[in-house]
């Protein structure tokens, strides 16, 4: 069974896990790594873990890093890495659209990339659409995962 890896410090975005980034416990494992800036929401963590692990299962495994943060932080990434000043709720930082092979002394691993999601935007959209925040989060995670399939030029 795949487990969530909890980081004490969020992984750097873009780039996420590298051979230098070994989560608590000393092992890089397949699955999803979720870092929280702010209050951790266990229900969101379960949903993200389930959704990402299902996605990875269709693609031969690997590792996806998810940063749960705020709209201003995602907007700063948007400005810095895309040159766009407007806010956004989700950003993806793909490795190469196929998963970047990382062979370390620990294990061969495919790194798909990083996703940044604004937690406050999840709640805001849920209120606007009068739906559960988990439904919005599912859409955001799906959007982020599709972005990891893009080839980086």
Q: Cα–Cα distance between 97 and 131 in angstroms, integer?
A: 32
Give mean pLDDT, residues 23-35: 68
Own/partner pairs, 97-105, CB within 8 angstroms, 24+ separation: 97/148, 97/149, 97/150, 97/151, 97/152, 98/151, 99/59, 99/60, 99/62, 102/17, 102/18, 102/19, 102/28, 104/19, 104/28
Tell me what pLDDT residue 15 has: 43
What distance in Å separates the CA atoms of residue 21 and residue 38, rounded to the nearest whole number?
Answer: 21
pLDDT for 112: 87
Annotation: CATH topology of 5-17+27-147? Collagenase (Catalytic Domain) (3.40.390)
The percent of residues in the chain predicted with pLDDT above 90, rounded, is 52
The pLDDT of residue 62 is 86
Reported confidence tier of residue 110, pLDDT bands at 50, 70, 90 = confident
Q: Which residue has the higher pLDDT, 107 or 124?
A: 124
- Model-level pTM? 0.76
Domain parsing of the chain, residue ranges: 5-17+27-147
Pair 102, 111: CB distance under 8 Å: yes
With cut-offs at 50, 70 and 90, classify the pLDDT of residue 101.
low
Q: What is the mean pLDDT of the chain?
A: 79
pLDDT digits (tens, 9 = 90+) for 59-80: 888 889 999 999 999 999 999 9
pLDDT for residue 21 is more than 70: no
């Amino acid at each position: 069974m795949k487990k969530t890896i909890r980081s004490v410090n969020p992984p750097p975005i873009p780039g996420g896990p590298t051979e230098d980034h070994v989560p608590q416990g000393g092992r890089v494992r397949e699955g999803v790594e979720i870092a929280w800036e702010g209050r951790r929401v266990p229900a969101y963590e379960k949903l993200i873990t389930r959704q990402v692990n299902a996605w990875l299962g269709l693609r031969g495994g690997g590792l996806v890093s998810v940063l749960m943060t705020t709209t201003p932080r995602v907007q700063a990434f948007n400005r810095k890495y895309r040159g766009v000043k407007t806010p956004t709720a989700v950003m993806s930082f793909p490795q190469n659209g196929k998963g970047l092979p990382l062979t370390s002394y620990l294990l061969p691993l495919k790194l798909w990339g990083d996703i940044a999601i604004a937690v406050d935007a999840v709640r805001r959209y849920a209120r606007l659409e009068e739906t559960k925040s988990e439904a919005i989060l599912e859409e955001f995670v799906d959007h982020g995962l599709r972005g990891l399939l893009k080839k980086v030029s």
